[in-house]
Chain A
Amino acid sequence: MKIHKYDTVIVGAGGAGMRAAIESTKRSRTAVLTKLYPTRSHTGAAQGGMAAALANVEEDNWEWHTFDTVKGGDYLVDQDAAEILAKEAIDSVLDLEKMGLPFNRTPNGTIDQRRFGGHSRNHGEAPVRRSCYAADRTGHMILQTLYQNCVKEGVEFFNEFYVLDQLITEEDGVRKSAGVVAYELATGEIHVFQAKAVIYASGGCGKFFKVTSNAHTLTGDGQAAVYRRGLPLEDMEFFQFHPTGIWRMGILLTEGARGEGGILRNKDGERFMEKYAPVMKDLASRDVVSRSIYTEIREGRGCGPEGDHVYLDLTHLPPEQLDAKLPDITEFARTYLGIEPYTDPIPIQPTAHYAMGGIPTNVEGEVLADNTTVVPGLYAAGEVACVSVHGANRLGTNSLLDINVFGRRAGIAAAEYSQRTATFVELPENPAQLVVDQIEQLRSSTGTERVATLRKELQETMDANVMVFRTEQTIKTAVEKIAELRERYKNVSIQDKGRRFNTDLLEAIELGNLLDLAEVMAVSALARKESRGGHYREDYPNRDDVNFMRHTMAYREVGDDGTDSIRLDYKPVVQTRYQPMERKY
């Protein structure tokens, strides 16, 4: 075991982690621990753009953006945070441009902007061009630009280091972050990083679904590490299903395709979104569009022999426009489906995409131990966190914005904290014990369960029971199945017993994280007896502001006999300017 000491440790090197690292490295001695090489992050898969009311192509302002974010989140958004997001969006985009990001340009040389779902002029009047973009590779360009600037700033990376545990020490009755424990993939060695401040920026957990746009590596490692140490997870029942994933594969096809004029059609060729969202049509918010697609499918208007998908039609758009604005997604259709988007519509279905919930933080990125108490030295930003700027449903282009605004804020706040804090929090006794035991247990287990089998069963039950439509019955089925899988997980064994690049072992650990988070998600969903944003209960089809205008806070409790359970609590929503209204597009 090796012990390292840094002022600030950042867990994850995607958009949020690297944006934080650029700030933190300027101010404090910083280490970035990342399970993948930095440019492998799934930030790079984001396509359509980053919202900011630059008003480069038409009238716009940050107040309209704030309103759209609050409405898009079905009023579960903390409005003070949404206001920061929309205000700081403008400088965030300009900062990236100054760092070198190659945005598409308008004829007069400024950053070009296009339409995106849920973004409107003057509180819902009509779609507005707010998304700043680089073809359909905006996430790729952000990731590359941030990595380039990390190289420039000399950011210190520990590549292929998996953070498996969060260390917490109690001092004078206050739980403080002491550091993290990491596993080095190349050697199997365990490292303890003692740090004054730790920032989690480790991304989402979408791999507990089967049809998902998420990378294989999005397994909620950060959320799970913090949750297992008794810290809460907020609003985990809210998961976004992106309307346009490639049929059966789930690969993302950007909403920018509809922003450029693409149309969703059912088997009769009907533009069905006109029925569900008369004003915004195909550019209604994602939860609305995904539900509409499944309604079409359920009512027998789905396409193909099994009627299990609909079409994204781009055939009326000029090929030059597709080549210039949507080159990657048209190539995906050719590569994976053998379809030519110039002439054929693309079969699509909703795909699990984004966790609105996560580790609760305030607007400075400080992690909360309960509704109000900050954990000194612990920060989170990006998809792993819940500020909450996305509420019950995130607007497209607000996640690339989130990672930049709150990645930057967390980086500054954490580095300033470690600069003004003179001493390190003492490490717990045997700091690596939990990780050592976990790894030894998995490596020596002779159990009969296989990781791949359990993961497949988990993904199937999540797709069947807690996807776009949910009922008490389906969620209970999921809760029971997850409990069974968690029990069987104790009997899991791996084939690779070696130390060197043992990805077999890490997949087993990742499955454990997914199982814990799936349980939190299902239990939180069961208790929320209303429909709001991405959480739709067929048995409670209306939003219930009287009983559920509040954030869910899920805590892990361990009984005297060592068994764990979930305790749910609730946190008020911050409302400033906007009173809840019925949500129509």
Chain B
Amino acid sequence: MATPVLDKVEAEAAASPYITVTFRIRRFNPEVSAEAVWEDFQLEIDPKERVLDGLHKIKWDLDGTLTFRRSCAHGICGSDAMRINGKNRLACKTLIKDINPEKPITVEAIKGLTVLKDLVVDMDPFFQAYRDVMPFLITKDTNEPTRERLQTAEDRERFDDTTKCILCAACTSSCPVFWNDGQYFGPAAIVNAHRFIFDSRDEAGEQRLEILNDRDGVWRCRTTFNCTDACPRGIEVTKAIAEVKKALITRRF
């Protein structure tokens, strides 16, 4: 049963080689100071552990005031998007060994949304943009079918990529256009519009396209691909935005 990879994984796990790393965290608490500051923490950690495990070690053993959101701890709930070594990632999906633990690991809040405390940002504008694209199936059926609507496997596949979104905001808060102008819908809202525009069952694509044709809509995208790089679900965000743009030009989808 054993394979070389497996032998290595199991042997390494048994050895548990702890290393010392420095977490350099951008702290902000308006109850204490109006200024944000960098603070260093040194800790012992197994390099196969997650950045989230490191944050927990700090909160639980060193400084209980360190504040961040988290829940599932394996990349499904979307709570813990943060800027780790300058890139947007989920803390629970980033292993210490994959981000060069030799140097201090910098952790700060995602950009473009107001920081409320430490790594916690105000998510309301993000969810407002999401709600603005009418993110729900709209059909004009006067008589609902008794059974399920039929959809071919190919039609289902057409929008599969954008159904994976967990609304973590890693994409939107990595976008330079969004940093400069919070009115821009941002990649996540467009991804969620795409999910319905290209769903063969939906009949409100035209309305959603009109919403995204706005001054603050898809045309603001400068295709820097930051969003695609940032997406922890591997969604081809920039491609989805391009497909929406193309649909706007041809009005065929």
Partners in one complex: yes
> Contact residues of A with B, CB < 8 Å?
36-37, 39-42, 44-45, 93-94, 97-100, 102-111, 134, 137, 140-141, 144, 148-149, 151-152, 186, 215-217, 247-249, 251, 265, 267-269, 303-306, 311, 313, 328, 332, 335-340, 343-345, 347, 450-452, 494-496, 498-504
- With A41-B77, A42-B77 as known contacts, state yes or no: A495 contacts B166, CB within 8 Å: no
Min CB distance A5 to B, Å, is 24
Task: Give the distance in Å from the alpha carbon of A108 to the alpha carbon of B156 in the complex.
Answer: 12
Report A-chain residues with C-beta under 8 Å of the C-beta of B164.
137, 140
Q: Which of A306, A335, A495 contacts B64 (CB 8 A)?
A: A495
Task: Give the distance in Å from the alpha carbon of A98 to the alpha carbon of B150 in the complex.
Answer: 11
Q: Which of A102, A332, A496 contacts B159 (CB 8 A)?
A: A102
- With A102-B163, A500-B30 as known contacts, state yes or no: A268 contacts B64, CB within 8 Å: no
Report B-chain residues with C-beta under 8 Å of the C-beta of A303.
1-2, 10
- A40 near B160 with CB under 8 A, answer no
- A98 near B148 with CB under 8 A, answer yes
Task: Give the distance in Å from the alpha carbon of A339 to the alpha carbon of B167 in the complex.
Answer: 27
- With A102-B156, A495-B63 as known contacts, state yes or no: A305 contacts B14, CB within 8 Å: yes
- A500 near B71 with CB under 8 A, answer no
| Apart from A303-B2, A338-B9: 19 A-B pairs, beta carbons within 8 A | A36-B77, A44-B72, A94-B147, A98-B137, A98-B148, A100-B137, A105-B156, A106-B153, A148-B137, A151-B136, A216-B71, A217-B71, A303-B10, A313-B1, A332-B74, A339-B5, A339-B9, A450-B60, A496-B65
| Interface pairs A-B: 5 shortest CB-CB | A100-B137, A495-B64, A452-B60, A109-B150, A148-B136
Q: Answer yes or no: B13 CB below 8 A from chain A CBs.
A: yes
Number of interface residues, chain B, beta carbon within 8 A: 70
Report B-chain residues with C-beta under 8 Å of the C-beta of A108.
150
- Some 22 contacts from A to B, beta carbons below 8 A apart, are A94-B148, A100-B196, A100-B199, A102-B199, A104-B156, A107-B153, A110-B150, A111-B148, A247-B13, A267-B1, A304-B13, A305-B10, A305-B14, A339-B6, A339-B9, A495-B64, A498-B29, A498-B31, A499-B31, A501-B120, A503-B59, A504-B59
Task: Closest B residue to A456 by CB, please name it.
Answer: B60
Min CB distance A489 to B, Å, is 16
Min CB distance B151 to A, Å, is 6
Min CB distance A27 to B, Å, is 19
Report B-chain residues with C-beta under 8 Å of the C-beta of A248.
13
- A140 near B151 with CB under 8 A, answer no
Min CB distance B56 to A, Å, is 8
Task: Give the distance in Å from the alpha carbon of A45 to the alpha carbon of B156 in the complex.
Answer: 22
Report A-chain residues with C-beta under 8 Å of the C-beta of B159.
102
Min CB distance B118 to A, Å, is 8
Q: Answer yes or no: B26 CB below 8 A from chain A CBs.
A: no
Q: Answer yes or no: B117 CB below 8 A from chain A CBs.
A: yes
Report A-chain residues with C-beta under 8 Å of the C-beta of B146.
94
Min CB distance B96 to A, Å, is 12
- A337 near B9 with CB under 8 A, answer yes
Q: Answer yes or no: B102 CB below 8 A from chain A CBs.
A: no
Task: Closest B residue to A332 by CB, please name it.
Answer: B74
- With A335-B75, A496-B64 as known contacts, state yes or no: A109 contacts B152, CB within 8 Å: yes
- With A109-B152, A303-B10 as known contacts, state yes or no: A45 contacts B116, CB within 8 Å: no
Min CB distance A92 to B, Å, is 12
- B65 near A42 with CB under 8 A, answer no
Report A-chain residues with C-beta under 8 Å of the C-beta of B167.
37, 39
Q: Answer yes or no: B35 CB below 8 A from chain A CBs.
A: no
Q: Which of A249, A251, A305 contacts B11 (CB 8 A)?
A: A305
- A500 near B6 with CB under 8 A, answer no
- B71 near A498 with CB under 8 A, answer no
Q: Answer yes or no: B73 CB below 8 A from chain A CBs.
A: yes
- Chain A proximity mask over B116-150: 1 for CB below 8 Å, otherwise 0: 11101001000100110011110000001111111
- A501 near B67 with CB under 8 A, answer yes
- B131 near A151 with CB under 8 A, answer yes
- With A303-B10, A452-B60, A452-B61 as known contacts, state yes or no: A149 contacts B136, CB within 8 Å: yes
Task: Closest B residue to A151 by CB, please name it.
Answer: B131
Task: Give the distance in Å from the alpha carbon of A44 to the alpha carbon of B168 in the complex.
Answer: 13
Min CB distance B92 to A, Å, is 10
Task: Closest A residue to B145 by CB, please name it.
Answer: A98
- B72 near A39 with CB under 8 A, answer no
Report B-chain residues with C-beta under 8 Å of the C-beta of A105.
151-153, 156
- A39 near B144 with CB under 8 A, answer no
- A347 near B10 with CB under 8 A, answer yes
- A500 near B117 with CB under 8 A, answer yes
- B166 near A45 with CB under 8 A, answer no
- B163 near A40 with CB under 8 A, answer no
Task: Give the distance in Å from the alpha carbon of A332 to the alpha carbon of B1 in the complex.
Answer: 21
Report B-chain residues with C-beta under 8 Å of the C-beta of A93.
148
Task: Give the distance in Å from the alpha carbon of A328 to the alpha carbon of B32 in the complex.
Answer: 42
Q: Which of B3, B48, B65, B196 contacts A343 (CB 8 A)?
A: B3
Task: Closest A residue to B60 by CB, please name it.
Answer: A452
Report A-chain residues with C-beta under 8 Å of the C-beta of B245.
none
Report A-chain residues with C-beta under 8 Å of the C-beta of B144.
98
Task: Give the distance in Å from the alpha carbon of A94 to the alpha carbon of B137 in the complex.
Answer: 14
- With A42-B77, A111-B148, A344-B5 as known contacts, state yes or no: A335 contacts B95, CB within 8 Å: yes
- B163 near A144 with CB under 8 A, answer yes
- A140 near B71 with CB under 8 A, answer no
Report B-chain residues with C-beta under 8 Å of the C-beta of A343.
3, 5
- With A265-B1, A339-B5, A339-B9 as known contacts, state yes or no: A503 contacts B67, CB within 8 Å: yes
Q: Which of B31, B75, B151 contacts A109 (CB 8 A)?
A: B151
Q: Which of B70, B120, B127 contacts A216 (CB 8 A)?
A: B70
Task: Give the distance in Å from the alpha carbon of A303 to the alpha carbon of B7 in the complex.
Answer: 10
- B156 near A97 with CB under 8 A, answer no
Q: Which of A36, A186, A247, A496 contacts B71 (CB 8 A)?
A: A36
